[in-house]
Amino acid sequence: MTDFSGLNLAQPILRAISDKSYTLPTPIQLKSIPPLLEGHDLLGIAQTGTGKTAAFALPLLHRLAQNPGTVKRGKPRALILVPTRELASQVSDNLRSYGRHLPVCTAVIFGGTNIRPQIRAMSRGVDVLVATPGRLLDLISQGHVQLHVIETFILDEADRMLDMGFLPDVKRIITKLPAKRQTLLFSATMPKSISKLAANLLNNPKRVEITPAASTVEKVQQRVLFVTKEKKRSLLTKLLNDEEIGRVLIFTRTKYGADRVAKHLYRGGILANAIHGNKSQNARQRALKSFCAGKIRALVATDIAARGIDIKDVTHVINFDLPSEPESYVHRIGRTARAGAGGIAISFCDHDERNHLRNIEKTIGLNVPVFTDHPFHDSEIENSKTPGKRKLRSKRVDLQQRNTQRTKRKAKKAA
Q: What is the DSSP string of 309-340?
A: ---TT--EEEESS--SSHHHHHHHHGGGSGGG
Whether residue 396 has pLDDT greater than 90: no
Whether residue 367 has pLDDT greater than 80: yes
> What is the Cα 343 distance to its own chain's centre?
18
Spatial contact of 317 and 239, defined as CB atoms under 8 Å apart: no
pLDDT at 163: 78
pLDDT at 406: 53
| Most confident region among 2-6, 153-157, 338-342 by mean pLDDT | 153-157
pLDDT at 212: 52
Name the residue with higher pLDDT: 53 or 413. Answer: 53
Q: What is the pLDDT of residues 61-70, one digit of tens each?
A: 999 999 888 8
Of the pLDDT bands very low, low, confident and very high (cuts 50, 70, 90), residue 343 is confident
192-201 and 167-174 helices cross at what angle (nearest 10)? Answer: 10
Domains annotated for the chain, with CATH where assigned, are 4-211 (3.40.50.300), 214-384 (3.40.50.300)
Torsion sign over Cα 70, 71, 76, 82? positive
Q: What is the pLDDT of residues 224-254, one digit of tens each?
A: 999 999 999 999 999 998 888 888 999 999 9
Of the pLDDT bands very low, low, confident and very high (cuts 50, 70, 90), residue 277 is confident
Query: Worst-scoring range by mean pLDDT, 62-66, 87-91, 284-288?
Result: 284-288
Of the pLDDT bands very low, low, confident and very high (cuts 50, 70, 90), residue 410 is very low
Query: Worst-scoring range by mean pLDDT, 33-42, 190-199, 406-415?
Result: 406-415
Whether residue 415 has pLDDT greater than 70: no
pLDDT at 123: 94
3-state secondary structure of 185: strand
Query: Worst-scoring range by mean pLDDT, 232-241, 324-333, 396-405?
Result: 396-405
CA dist 308 and 85 (Å) reads 9
- Angle, vertex CA 386, rays to CA 380 and CA 390, nearest 5: 90
